[in-house]
Chain A
Amino acid sequence: MEWGFPENFSTFGDSIDATYGAIFYVTAIAFVVVQGLLIYCIIRYRHREGRKALPIHGNTRLEIIWTVIPAIGVLSVAYLSASVWLDIKDESRFPGGAYEVGLHASQFEWNVTNPGPDGALGTDDDFPTRNALHVPVDQPVRVLLTAEDVIHSFFLPNFRVKQDAVPGMEIPVWFEAIAPGVFDLGCAELCGLGHYRMRGTLTVHSPEDFEAWQAEEGGVASGTAETPTVAAR
Chain B
Amino acid sequence: MSTVTVPPDYASQFHDPSHEDHRSFWRKYVFSTDHKIIGIQFLFMSLLFLLIGGLLAMLIRWQLGWPGQALPGGDVLGEARMPGGIMLPEFYNSVMTMHGTIMIFFAVMPLLVGVYANYLIPLQIGAPDMAFPRLNMLSFWLAVPAGVLMVAGFFVAGGHAAAGWTSYAPLSTNPEFTGVFTGQVLWTASLIILGFSSLAGAVNYITTIVNMRAPGMTWFRLPLPTWALFITSILILLAIPVLTGALILLLFDQVLGTGFFNPEYGGQPLLWQHLFWYFGHPEVYILILPAFGFVSEIIANGSRKPVFGYHAMVLAITAIAFLGWIVWGHHMFQSGMNPTLGAGFMATTMVIAVPTAIKVFNWIGTMWEGDLHFHSPMLYSIAFVSMFVIGGFSGIFLASTPVDIPLHDTYFVVAHIHYVLFGGSLFAIFAAITYWFPKMFGRMMNERVNKVHFFFTFIFFNLTFFPMHELGNAGMMRRIYDYTQYGFLEGLVDINRLISLAAFGLFTAQLIFAANFIWCLFKGEKAGNNPWRANALEWSVPSPPPHGNFTLLPMVYRGPYEYSSPESEEDYFPQDAPPAEESVPEPAPTLV
A/B touching: CB–CB < 8 A: yes
Q: Which residues of A are in contact with B by a Cβ distance under 8 Å?
A: 3-6, 15-16, 19-20, 23-24, 26-27, 30-31, 34-35, 37-38, 41-42, 45-47, 51-59, 62-63, 66-67, 70-71, 74-75, 77-78, 80-82, 84-86, 88-91, 107, 149-151, 153, 155, 157-158, 160-164, 166-169, 171, 183-184, 186-197, 199
A54 (CB) vs chain B CBs: closest residue: B369
- Residues of B near A88 (CB, < 8 A) are 402, 405
Q: Which of B360, B386, B400, B589 contacts A55 (CB 8 A)?
A: B589
A78 (CB) vs chain B CBs: closest residue: B350
CB atoms of A82 and B474 under 8 A apart: no
For the complex formed, measure the closest distance between the CB of B394 and the CB atoms of chain A, giving whole angstroms: 8
- Residues of A near B335 (CB, < 8 A) are 151, 164, 166
- Determine which residue in A35, A38, A184 has the highest number of CB atoms from chain B within 10 A of its CB, and name it: A38
A89 (CB) vs chain B CBs: closest residue: B339
Q: Which of A47, A153, A164, A193 contacts B89 (CB 8 A)?
A: A193
Question: What are 27 A-B pairs with beta-carbon distances under 8 A?
Answer: A5-B473, A30-B393, A34-B360, A41-B367, A42-B367, A54-B370, A55-B589, A56-B368, A56-B369, A58-B309, A58-B362, A63-B312, A66-B361, A74-B354, A81-B401, A84-B402, A85-B343, A86-B340, A88-B405, A90-B339, A90-B340, A151-B269, A160-B406, A162-B405, A189-B168, A190-B164, A195-B479
- 6 closest Cβ pairs, A-B complex: A168-B263, A89-B339, A157-B475, A85-B401, A70-B357, A4-B473
- Residues of A near B473 (CB, < 8 A) are 3-5
Given A4-B473, A67-B358, A84-B402, A193 contacting B303 (CB threshold 8 A): no
CB atoms of A86 and B386 under 8 A apart: no
- Provide the bound-state CA to CA distance between A19 and B401, in Å: 10
CB atoms of B480 and A150 under 8 A apart: no
Q: Which of B171, B382, B486, B588 contacts A191 (CB 8 A)?
A: B171
- Residues of A near B487 (CB, < 8 A) are 184
CB atoms of A168 and B397 under 8 A apart: no
- Provide the bound-state CA to CA distance between A37 and B370, in Å: 13
Interface flags, B282-309, vs A, CB<8A=1, else 0: 0000000000000000000001111011
CB atoms of B340 and A153 under 8 A apart: no
Confirm or deny: B93 has a beta carbon within 8 angstroms of a beta carbon on chain A.
Answer: yes
Given A34-B360, A53-B563, A6 contacting B334 (CB threshold 8 A): no
Known: A53-B563, A74-B354, A82-B347. 15 other contacts (CB 8 A): A5-B475, A6-B474, A27-B396, A35-B389, A37-B364, A45-B303, A55-B564, A55-B589, A56-B589, A62-B591, A90-B340, A162-B405, A192-B178, A195-B481, A197-B485
- Residues of B near A167 (CB, < 8 A) are 170, 262-264, 269
Confirm or deny: B456 has a beta carbon within 8 angstroms of a beta carbon on chain A.
Answer: no
Given A184-B488, A188-B410, A191-B171, A85 contacting B304 (CB threshold 8 A): no
Q: Which of B269, B396, B405 contacts A166 (CB 8 A)?
A: B269
Confirm or deny: B409 has a beta carbon within 8 angstroms of a beta carbon on chain A.
Answer: yes
- Provide the bound-state CA to CA distance between A58 and B401, in Å: 36
Chain B contacts with A in 320-359, Cβ cutoff 8 A: 334-336, 339-340, 342-343, 346-347, 350-351, 353-354, 357-358
- Provide the bound-state CA to CA distance between A155 and B368, in Å: 47
- Residues of A near B571 (CB, < 8 A) are 52-53
Chain B contacts with A in 266-288, Cβ cutoff 8 A: 267-270
- Residues of A near B340 (CB, < 8 A) are 86, 90
Confirm or deny: B129 has a beta carbon within 8 angstroms of a beta carbon on chain A.
Answer: no
Given A66-B361, A77-B400, A86-B343, A186 contacting B477 (CB threshold 8 A): yes
Number of residues from B at the complex interface, CB < 8 A: 100
- Provide the bound-state CA to CA distance between A27 and B374, in Å: 28
Q: Which of B170, B305, B368 contacts A149 (CB 8 A)?
A: B170
Given A85-B401, A195-B481, A46 contacting B374 (CB threshold 8 A): yes
Confirm or deny: B483 has a beta carbon within 8 angstroms of a beta carbon on chain A.
Answer: yes
Q: Which of A34, A47, A51, A163 contacts B336 (CB 8 A)?
A: A163
CB atoms of B386 and A35 under 8 A apart: yes
Confirm or deny: B75 has a beta carbon within 8 angstroms of a beta carbon on chain A.
Answer: no
Q: Which of B177, B270, B372 contacts A47 (CB 8 A)?
A: B372
Given A41-B364, A58-B312, A193-B89, A78 contacting B400 (CB threshold 8 A): yes
Given A57-B310, A58-B311, A74 contacting B590 (CB threshold 8 A): no
- Residues of A near B385 (CB, < 8 A) are 38
